Amino acid sequence: MKIRAITSNNFYQGLIYEKKNKDNYPEVYAAPNKIKEASTLRSMPVHYPISFGIQNSSKLRILFGFDLPCIYSGVIMIDPKQLTRWQKGHLFNRSAKDVLSELDKYPDSFVGMEKRFIELIRERSDMHPEMTMKDILNEVRPIYARRLRKEQYPVFQELIELSHHLPNEYRKGCEMLMEDTKRRLYDKPVVVPFSAYEFKYKLAKIRDDISNGSDKKSKKVMAKLIKESKRLANTTNSSTIEKQKEVIRFMEIILKKSVLKDNFQLQKLIQDSKARLNQEEIFTPFTRKSFIYDLAKLLQDLPDEKLYEKFIMIASKLPTSQESFSAYVMKLAHEQPDKIGHRLVWPSLASVEHLLPRSDGGPDLMSNFAGATTRENSTRKSIKFVQQLKCRPDTPKYCQMYVDRLIELNHQGVFARHGISPTYITDFANTIYKLSEHRVKLDTSKL
């Protein structure tokens, strides 16, 4: 496996673990970045660092262009190279009709929230064929914002009622956090303290976006900006703020004179940072994850351990974009066209799955590789395959679909044309048989 995803469960457990260990081992958690300053996580984009460049996997990645089903979900995977082509061709900046004409070539690749969103786009584009996806999101955003607030309201009310049990000094901070949250939910500007941690995080994510297929000049500019950002002090106070302003101003000069001068993400990051350093109000959307981190930071020294845990548990009930379509729409509504397209396609992208996780010694060999969507790859993390069978009981069926498709491709000559040995198919079946503790025996007789 290649990534660790933050799920609602381990995210909640992580906050509780952090607090308990802080109480037991205060010297370890005395560093200023013990929770990375909850405010540093404000509005951070969810970024999934899936890597498609795993050593020795090039042969499998060739097969990603031939409609392979995911071994865990059966979803027909989209080749990551196709997403790169769409982005280079600025597909997601074009009309929603143009986008749909491409996505409709993959009818079995979109499920869940993504499928619902495509249907929403289809419905609106039938009435307004000239509209882009961003235009449609701007049009429907007020509707889904109201719906989401209605879903969030009971959770916020529960938190407000629970705050009456807090000591006075914590209650006041909680009231301020809720007022700040209310302003964000109603798209009103707020004062957000500058955070060097957040700035560097966002800059690194922009670099990752730009590095995919960009020219050398763009990569050089990003390298220069990253290098300059290292001069930012990690804490903002009276003795560091002027130096931080100077660094941001210099980065703005670099950007304005570069090939990336029109990059929206970089422009917004610089402008927002200047405003935050000057303690000016800015428009920044509400995010569930940032709210929970801010709440955790506010209550991190609360003596009553059970009360702290109850606050975090209640806050964790706020609807996520995986559970609530309104939350999903609102998450996309704040993004630029390419990001909207990326978020829409990302869950269906093909990725290289280590059947025996790397953390358990899984080798970088074809016999240990399979194709899984980035969503399923991310969800599995590094659990054992037998445990994955419990989480995804239809895995044997989808693994058989995977084998059947590989056999078809072999018969069509795809393996021979690309120098891929058909023994991969039997090797895969044998690996599944072994890792499933002899519970899953795949049929390769048609080979």
Q: Give the mean model confidence (pLDDT) for residues 321-349.
A: 95
Distances (CA, A) of 315 to 4, 22, 68, 190, 260: 22, 21, 39, 21, 39
Positive or negative: CA dihedral 215, 216, 218, 219: positive
pLDDT above 70 for 102: yes
Nearest to 164 by CA among 3, 310, 372, 367: 310
pLDDT above 90 for 2: no
More reliable by pLDDT, 101 or 12: 101
DSSP string covering 214-280: --HHHHHHHHHHHHHHTTS-SS-STTTHHHHHHHHHHHHHHHHTSTTTT-HHHHHHHHHHHHHHTT-
> How far apart are the C-alpha atoms of 435 and 403, rounded to whole Å?
16
Q: In the prediction, which pLDDT does 14 show?
A: 57
Q: Give the mean model confidence (pLDDT) for residues 241-263.
A: 95
Residue 208: band (very low, low, confident or very high) from pLDDT cuts 50, 70, 90: confident
Q: How confident is the model over 375-416, as pLDDT tens digits?
A: 999 999 899 999 999 999 999 999 999 999 999 999 999 999
pLDDT above 90 for 21: no
> 352 with 54: CB under 8 angstroms?
yes
End-to-end CA distance of the chain: 28
Q: In the prediction, which pLDDT does 56 show?
A: 72
Q: How confident is the model over 46-101, as pLDDT tens digits?
A: 333 343 334 579 999 999 999 999 999 999 999 999 999 999 999 999 999 999 99
Q: How confident is the model over 28-42, as pLDDT tens digits?
A: 344 333 333 333 333
